Amino acid sequence: MKMLAKKFRWYMLLIVAVIGLFSFKVGDNYFEIAKNLELYASVFREINTYYVDGIDAGKLNKKAIDEMLKTLDPYTNFISEAEAEDFRYQMTGQYGGVGSQIGMKDDYIVITDPYEGYPAYKADLRAGDLIINVDGKDIKGKSTSDVSKLLKGQAGTAIKLVIKRNGKEIPKTITREEIKVKNVPYSGLINPETGYIKLTGFTQEAGKEVRDALVALKKQGIKQVILDLRGNPGGLLNEAVNIVNVFVPQGQQVVFTKGKVSEWDKSYETTMGATDPVIPVAVLVSRGSASASEIVSGTIQDLDRGIVIGQRSFGKGLVQSTRPLNYNTQIKITTAKYYTPSGRCIQALDYSHRNEDGSVGSVPDSLKKEFKTKNGRKVYDGGGIDPDIKVELKPYAQITQSLLAKQVIFDFATEYRNTHDSIAQPKTFMLTQADFEAFKKLAETKELDYSTQTEKSLEELKKKAEQEKYFEAIKASYDKMKAQLKQDKQADLDKNKEEIIALLEEEIVKRYYFQKGKIEASFSHDLEIKEALSVFANSERYKQIISGPVASKK
């Protein structure tokens, strides 16, 4: 034990000594770092030697590193050896597994979205199937992350599942494959003149996938295209450049970065000829569009190459670089900020100036600067990409939110798939009134726990009446109103039929035609797509939006 402790002390002191020698050569700031590393090593040594119980050194060190990095920004992360596979998936979109999204339902894991063409799909796993056993192990109570690890594995290896569908237990043997989640899960025609490309990620070959999609759509005769970046959290910066290059000619600056270290001051330009430099483009963004999505939409806007439609984007203008560490670990560290061609940085939160409670605030309007697009339109930094056409999204009704939270819509789609072998094509499929009545009956069996504002006011009235000793006098009226409101909850299903039907149709279509079908089923009621089609139908309006004051003065 003494020998082990001695070796531990010698090892830690050696590290500090080496860093210390390096520190004096580089500068005073590194001396401060060396001093604190020595202090950290001392604390670690004392805990290891004297703490009453045994310690898990790796776990303790990981916690210390994670807590340290939390004081910087959410994107600077330590990646342990155990997390390397998940990180690889984030960068490449590839992993070994069965190819399906999963979720929680009661005490079990449920299949929510099998990927078309992959092992889960080939084995006829369906959305709504409960996984109750994996390789002979009962998984009741296991988390999604626990089961995900069991499902993943080396391509070519087999896994045995027992699923429950429609009350029956069904054994399945599935051979894992290398899964490559596409950046473009769907591209197709909204109408004969309008192409649509859905981009969900920026992993390797995202630019090629967008380019290939546009080429295929042009062969079908499109005259305009919608690029959908809604909810896309970003990814590889170079792929953002490649995607812009699909619409912008060679040699155009797309983004430049600036960091504390001069090696991160870089400019990224398009390197190839554009697939189509003139086709009208509408880029759809949402609050969930971040990072590389904002590079693409911001550059398209800055160059007046197309119009941006939707809601203000997330506002992540920070660049991360991955650097290798010892023992097969890595650190993903924020090294720079990125700027679109007009010179604006769209970073919305100021992580360098934290409040006393550790929170951070948005960049104040007084500090936001004005920039100009290629045609002289005004754009601003410090708050994401502001769309050229804003579309305000109406939140779901309370009953709809409850239906989603209680998985009633999901359950109805499962029952529908179990009782209908086929349905019409996604663009034409419609639920009947009889289907909706069946859904209402299912909803009646669920506890939809939401309170209307009227119910809340009624409860407040009861409390005040009880405090003032008046409740007994109004109790009969109170009970009558409460019963009436309960009946009105059933009427809420009819009041919000349109939005509920839209969600039901998408979920049901997904059971037969997967993600591609769900996207096509959404076309008829998608507000941003409707706005894009409206602008495309009025070519003068489109030109007016992107022309700016330059054209108006001519």
User: Which residues have a catalytic role annotated?
Assistant: 291, 302, 316
Question: In 27-136, where does DSSP find H-type helix?
Answer: 28-50, 57-70, 84-92, 119-122
H/E element, 322: strand 318-324
Q: Taken in order 75, 81, 85, 88, is the CA torsion positive or negative?
A: positive
212's tokens: 């290939």
Render the burial of 201-212: b for 16+ CB within 10 Å, e for the rest.
bbbbbbbebbbb
Q: What is the DSSP string of 516-549?
A: HHHHHHHGGG-HHHHHHHHHHH-HHHHHHHHHHH
Amino acid at 510: K
Q: What is the chain's alpha carbon radius of gyration, rounded to the nearest angstrom? A: 28
Other Cβ atoms within 10 Å of 468 Cβ, number: 8
Contact of 173 with 158, CB cutoff 8 Å = yes
Task: Report the DSSP beta bridge partners of residue 163.
Answer: 131, 170
Give the β-pairing of 194-198 and 281-285: unpaired
551's tokens: 């054209």
Q: Where are the beta strands (DSSP E) in 230-285?
A: 253-258, 266-269, 281-285
Contacts of 366 (CB under 8 A, 6+ apart): none
Contact of 284 with 532, CB cutoff 8 Å = yes
CA torsion angle 77 81 87 91 (round to 10): 110
Residue with tokens 């430099």: 277
Q: What is the DSSP string of 6-52?
A: HHHHHHHHHHHHHHHHHHHHH-HHHHHHHHHHHHHHHHHHHHHHH-S
- Residue 8, exposed/middle/buried by CB under 10 A (0-12, 13-18, 19+)? middle
In the Cβ-directed half-sphere of 315, how many Cα atoms lie within 13 Å? 17
Sheet (strand 194-198) strand order:
186-191, 194-198, 224-228, 281-285, 307-310, 389-390
267's tokens: 């400019």
